[in-house]
Each structure stands twice: as structure tokens, then as C-alpha cells.
Structure 1
Amino acid sequence: MEKADAAGPTALGLVVHPSADVRDSVRTITDWATSRSVPVIGRDQDAGRLPPEVATVPDDQFRARIKGLVSLGGDGTMLGAMRLVVDRPVPVLGVNHGNLGFLVEVTPATLEDALARLVADDYTIETHGCLVAECSSVRPLRTDVGFNDFILARQGRTGTVSIDLSLNDQQYGYYRGDAVVVSTPNGSTAYNYAAGGPIVSPSAAAIVITPVAPMAGINRSIVLGAGDRVSLHVAADSVPVAVNVDGTASAELAPGDVLSLRMDEDAAQVVRLAAGTHANRSRIKLSLLDLPLRRDQLLELIPEELRPNGSVQPIQDRADAEDAGR
């Protein structure tokens, strides 16, 4: 992310959490960028949360001028940053100012080291796919790109969502229940999993559709290829359908409306500095989803600095003794 030729994008973009205190990280970034004559810009909507030396511009100019992007927040902020540059993917580095983040990799304490590695090109790019939507409704989608999932759900506590499914212009059945979740592999561990859907490897090129509390019609998950075209037709007997994209409200559909989805497999470039650490964090995520890990496998997830003598063996010995005494 060093300064590029003046004819091309040269700036480092910042996307910040709407409420978390990210001032120290912003200062670290601006000091680093100033020492290398790299301009730093933000979005107009974040002007009140950025210092005066960070110029803010409209989103269209922001996308055109940045060579790389830093997201300061949690996974939600990171997803928003990725959606922002989906039409012109640039490397996105996530700095965790939230709780347990799975997309964001860097902590504020390690941000300076991360920036140094970016200068040295000591990182890899992890490509993320997304779902891209088109809608026949006269009310446009507020968000038409989802890196985790699209959820079509009833708005209240009464009535059912009734939706006809078409794949590649061929009708395949219908859903009737509380909601329908369409997810990417990365999003498969979210609402899709909570609704009984499968966990899909992020390396798979796939789309997953899972019904929530089905009353009739299709009652199991369907795993599709990334090249399949999905159309969801809101049936005449359906209640109004709220569309939620990556946790944000996007639209309300009425009977007769059609939401069409396709997969863009190369929609975002996420910076990875330590693939092993990120993989370990993913294992923790899976253990939180009650997937079975053996005791020694769980112990391996303890950071080295928290292990007695830098090893899990004393903990393992105590665990074995406890098991023997039962």
C-alpha cells in the first residue's frame, strides 16, 4: 500500500465503527502514512469521527481514490467496508475494535507491526465471494450485496412467508414458514447454521438455501453451485417479506415481487498476515458452535502466552488426572 503513481489511486481509506473509540488506531495510521507521504481519506459520513488531517469525500470519490482500505471496528464494520468496494476490490485490512471477530485479524496493539508488513508486502490476500441481488420491486434495495447472507423473513409474529424457488429459470418448489436464508460459505456458520443448515467450507464455491421453521414445501437445506441463478418469488398468499442483508435491513417485498441472487466469487480482497492464527480463530468459532473437538484439540487453542511454561502439557496432565479420578 505504498504510494502509487500519481495517475492512479494513491490514498489509504479508513472506514470506522459508528460508536467505538478508534482514535488511537486512527492516530497510528495517520502517523505511519505521514512518514511515507501516503494520503489518508475517509468518508463524508464519518467526518465527525475523524481528525481534521483526514480529508473526507463522498463515497464515489472514496472508492476511486483508494489503493487500500483499513476497517476499524468489528466484523460488521469489515463487512460494510467490503461491500463499499465490491465494484473495485482493493486490499482490506480489518482492525478489531469489537468483541470476538472472525473477519478482522489485527488488534490495535499490533497495528504498527501490521502496517510495517503491508509496506514490506509481507501478507497474503484471501478472496471472498458475495451474493449480488436484483429485485423487481418498485422499492429499491438499500443493500444489494451480501458477503454473509440474505434473509427473507416475516416482519411480525403472525402469518407465514410463502416463496416460490426457481433455479436457472426452472421452478423447483416453494417455501412456507418463518424465513428463508440464502448464504455464502463464509456466512454458513451464522443464521444458516442456527436454522439447521450445513457448515460449508470457505474454499467451496457454493450457495446454501435453508428454510427457517418450515411449515410446508421444501423443508431441508439445498446446496447449489456458485454459477446457479436463484430467484425467490413472493407468492400471493405470503405476508410482506423483510429482506435483511448481512444484518442490515434492505427492503420490504410484497406478493408478486421477485428477488434474484447470483454469486460473485471474487468480490473482496481481505488482507491476511498470519494464516495460522486466523485458522485457529476459525477453530474457536466452530467450537462455539458445539462442533466436537477433543480435549487436547481445545487446549491447543489457548494462546502460547497463557500456557504454563509455554506448553499445554501441564494443563493436559491436570485434565487427564481429573478424568482418571472420575
Structure 2
Amino acid sequence: MKVALHGLALKKEFFLEVKSLFLALAKHNFEIFVTKQFDKQIRAHSDLVSPYWVLENKEEMAKMDFMISIGGDGTLLDAVCQVGNLEIPILGLNTGRMGFLATVATDSIDQAIGHLADHNYQIESRALISLQQNKKLFNGLNFALNEFTIHKRDTSSMITVHTYIDGKYLNSYWADGLIVATPTGSTGYSLSCGGPLISPEAKNLVITPVSPHNLNVRPIIVSDESEISFRIEGRTEKFLISLDSRSTSVSSEVKLSVKKEVFEAKLVKLPNYHFFDTLRQKLNWGFDMRN
């Protein structure tokens, strides 16, 4: 089987784990490929001598059986962009902190690769959110796994985001910004702004305001079959929009709407893993914090 490895700004001390990963893959006869970004890091920070090939284009990427993301959740989000509509299953090796998406610990590398080799895993389909606009943005990568965000560009005044569901007026949000998150993204920026947690298999999107001026404004959950459109007003001519960690500025003249993407992200789910386990671990659920 063929596996692609992807990493971003990996700290030098984690290349010991990278070596362990290469050894485990070689032991199970995987053909190892790496993205161009990760190849630069290997050459700069590692004395790794194991053979591998560098992926040069999307045609080569399409031949991969898996992609392994090495880093935190941000690296896995970038891996989703690398894969795009190829829907290659992605496994996240966590060298970061939270690890809602990158769930494999560095001390479980050999066991995780054994599960891949033995086909002892499941594939989770995660919905993506797609940005529709009348101007080309984000180099054509107009999708995200976590969220789409509209945000004021500076620290001065708030903005007004007039929001419509399938063309029907919903609300005008006077706020610092507005988030539209997928179920996967409900554990991210939306959660920090008071949004609800949503199970990954739910067929919903959540609209969460960022620091709203009106205290009676609350997040709302809508069907992921909806198309959500916006009209933005403010004292400045430019606003920030983002898809996960990728941001760009736009003017109020740009027409923006979001809906569910036609393809999905495929995440590898290893044995003895469940989303609820991750919630309890990361959010300290089930622990008596009074002691």
C-alpha cells in the first residue's frame, strides 16, 4: 500500500517520532511518499535515511491509499486541503496539544500502523463547508472542514452581517464576526464563542456570532442542506473571511454564501476510539473539578 506523509512546521524534537513512523511503515511494507512541504522539513531537520518519494502533483496524490498528518489539528486541516476531492483517508498523528482530529498519540505509532496494514479500522465521513462567491478566492480551495468565518478587519467598530437561510432573512448580527461551523468544527472556534457541541454524524451547520452586541443573540443550528448567504456592512470597506486557518480580505461588494460541499473528508478511525472519549479527555468531562 502507498501512504503519503504531510507535516507543517514540525519541531526538530519530534523527528524522533518521524523516524519511528518510517520504521513502522517500512516494517509493514508501505511505500512511503511525502508532500513537498514535509520533504523540506525532513531535509532541514533530520538525518533520516529511509527511502521515500516526493509527491509532485495531484495525479500522484490520487494513487495514495492513505495520508498521515503529522502535527496538530491545524496540520490535519491542511492535509484535508492537500487531498481535496480525492477523498483519501487521513490519519492524524498528534504532536500538538488538543488533538480533536489528530487522535493518534506518538507512543502508539507502531500499533496504529499495524492496524492500517491489517485493515483494522473504520472510515469516518466528515462534512465539509463550501464557500460560493462571485470572485475567485483562496486559490480555488474554497472548502473547509471546520468553519467559515466573517470577521472585522481591525480593532475599531463592529460589523453588521445580514444573514439569510435559503434566501429567507434570518437575522442581522451586530458583532465582531460570524462563524458557520460544521459538526467537526463545533469543537473549535465556534465552541470558544459559546456554540454547541455537535456529534460528527449530525446533518447540521451551526451559526455562531462572535462577541455580539445584543446579548439576546444566540447560536442557531440549521440543516446542512441549507444555503446560508450574507450581506456585510461596516465603517470600513474591507472585511476578513476565513476557511479554517486560511484568511483573506474582501470588500462588501463580494457576494458570499456557504453550503455543504459535494465531497467529504475521510478520517481513519482506529479501534477503541470514539468521539465521546475524545470529548471527555480533552474537556475533562467526568472529573470532579471541585477537589
Place the TM-score, normalised by the shorter chain, in its bin: 0.7 to 0.9
Q: Is the 8 A contact 1:162 1:239 kept in 2?
A: no
Match of 2:15 in 1: 23
Q: What letter matches 1:250 in structure 2? A: S
Q: What letter matches 1:56 in structure 2? A: V
Deviation of 1:208 after TM superposition, in Å, equals 0.7
Share of identical aligned residues, percent?
A: 22
Would the alpha carbon gap of residues 258 and 48 (structure 1) be closer, same or farther in structure 2, given more than 3 Å must change? Answer: same
Match of 1:96 in 2: 94
SS of residue in 2 equivalent to 1:110: helix
Match of 1:232 in 2: 230
Counterpart among 123, 126, 130 of residue 125 in structure 1: 123
Q: Is the 8 A contact 2:157 2:235 kept in 1?
A: no
Counterpart among 250, 266, 277 of residue 253 in structure 1: 250
Counterpart among 143, 146, 158 of residue 145 in structure 1: 143
Deviation of 1:254 after TM superposition, in Å, equals 0.6
Deviation of 1:163 after TM superposition, in Å, equals 2.1
Q: Is the 8 A contact 1:241 1:252 kept in 2?
A: yes
Give the Cα separation in 1 of the matches to 2:215 and 2:142: 27
Aligned length: 282
Q: What letter matches 1:270 in structure 2? A: L
Question: Runs (4+) of structure 1 moved beyond 6 Å?
Answer: none
Cα RMSD, aligned residues only:
2.6
Deviation by residue 1:196-235 (Cα, 9 ceiling, x = unmatched): 2222222211011111222369932221101101112223
Match of 2:266 in 1: 269
Q: What letter matches 1:71 in structure 2? A: S
Structure having the higher Rg: 1
Counterpart among 135, 145, 161 of residue 163 in structure 1: 161
SS of residue in 1 equivalent to 2:104: coil
Give the Cα separation in 1 of the matches to 2:277 and 2:74: 21
Deviation of 1:30 after TM superposition, in Å, equals 3.1
Q: What letter matches 1:209 in structure 2? A: I
Deviates more, 1:189-198 or 1:65-74: 189-198
Give the Cα separation in 1 of the matches to 2:216 and 2:250: 20
Q: Is the 8 A contact 1:236 1:256 kept in 2?
A: no
Deviation by residue 1:230-280 (Cα, 9 ceiling, x = unmatched): 11222376652111222x232212112122211138611111213446532
Match of 1:312 in 2: none
Counterpart among 149, 171, 174 of residue 173 in structure 1: 171
TM-score by length of 1: 0.77
* Aligned positions of 1:1-326 closer than 5 A: 3=1, 11-21=2-12, 22-35=14-27, 37-50=29-42, 51=48, 53-137=51-135, 140-142=137-139, 143-215=141-213, 219-235=217-233, 239-246=237-244, 248-264=245-261, 267-276=264-273, 279-287=276-284, 297-298=286-287
Would the alpha carbon gap of residues 65 and 150 (structure 1) be closer, same or farther in structure 2, given more than 3 Å must change? Answer: same
Q: Is the 8 A contact 1:133 1:259 kept in 2?
A: yes
Deviation of 1:37 after TM superposition, in Å, equals 4.6
SS of residue in 1 equivalent to 2:259: strand
Q: Is the 8 A contact 1:75 1:101 kept in 2?
A: yes
Give the Cα separation in 1 of the matches to 2:131 and 2:56: 24
Deviates more, 1:153-162 or 1:211-220: 211-220
Runs of 5+ in structure 2 lacking a partner? 43-47
SS of residue in 1 equivalent to 2:62: helix
Would the alpha carbon gap of residues 35 and 194 (structure 1) be closer, same or farther in structure 2, given more than 3 Å must change? Answer: closer
SS of residue in 2 equivalent to 1:199: coil
Q: Is the 8 A contact 1:180 1:211 kept in 2?
A: yes
SS of residue in 2 equivalent to 1:58: coil
TM-score by length of 2: 0.86
Would the alpha carbon gap of residues 245 and 260 (structure 1) be closer, same or farther in structure 2, given more than 3 Å must change? Answer: same
Give the Cα separation in 1 of the matches to 2:268 and 2:4: 14
Deviation of 1:98 after TM superposition, in Å, equals 1.3
Give the Cα separation in 2 of the matches to 1:211 and 1:108: 36
Give the Cα separation in 2 of the matches to 1:70 and 1:15: 6
